[in-house]
Structure 1
Amino acid sequence: MSQSKKEMMNRALSAMTMNIGKAGVNDNVIEEIKRQLKANEIVKLKFAKNIAKNKDDYIADIVQKTRSKLIDVRGNVAVIYKKKP
């Protein structure tokens, strides 16, 4: 694991966690993720068990719409990053 990825994962331990529920991802969820990324750079997304089978599609959609980078996925939790402007 590269030094920067280790550093990101350490920062992710204290990052804001957003729960993605059974409703999935909609425009309001995307806007909230954008706000959190702007404030914190790193956001953890925790997917509800009943939508976890589709999480890869949701993650791809979120990363594309927020212009962020996927750092890691473990179980039903994804960590994304976007550098502050």
Structure 2
Amino acid sequence: MLTGKQKRYLRSQAHHLKPIFQIGKAGINDNLIIQVKEALEKRELIKVSILQNNFEDKNDVAREIAQKSESELVQLIGHTIVLYKESSENKQIELP
């Protein structure tokens, strides 16, 4: 579980990032989760965009993708999700 200070730090680090995944009308599937896990292992901090044609509640989508990818939900702002998971091999981010 991340503290408020750690979340603020991660939000500042994620500000310049572009979303690398998009969730559309197909929703969340196993392939997407596998790719998100691999990206988190490589980068530790990623953004995921929820497209307009996804009619599920964005809060539910954010919680589900964080839970299934075993990551921390840093922020949900608009239709953009910020996820963090500490990498076991490629540790780059040092949390305060």
Bin of the TM-score, shorter chain as denominator length? 0.7 to 0.9
Q: What is the TM-score with the length of structure 2 in the denominator?
A: 0.76
1:5 corresponds to: 7
**Displacement over 3 Å in runs of 4+:** none
Q: CA-atom RMSD, angstroms?
A: 1.9
Q: How far 1:79 moved relative to its partner?
A: 0.5
Contact map agreement 1:16 1:42 (CA 8 A) in 2: no
Which shows bigger deviation, 67-76 or 56-65? 56-65
Contact map agreement 2:59 2:76 (CA 8 A) in 1: no
| 1:61-72 matches, cutoff 5 A | 61-72=64-75
Which shows bigger deviation, 71-80 or 8-17? 8-17
Give distance in 1, aligned partners of 2:29 and 2:54: 14
Give distance in 2, aligned partners of 1:29 and 1:64: 13
Larger radius of gyration: 2
Q: What is the TM-score with the length of structure 1 in the denominator?
A: 0.85
Which shows bigger deviation, 13-22 or 32-41? 13-22
Contact map agreement 2:25 2:55 (CA 8 A) in 1: no
In the alignment, structure 1 segments of 5+ residues that lack a partner are: none
Matched positions, count? 85
Identity across matched positions, percent: 32
| 1:1-85 matches, cutoff 5 A | 2-15=4-17, 17=19, 18-51=21-54, 53-85=56-88
Greater helix content: 1
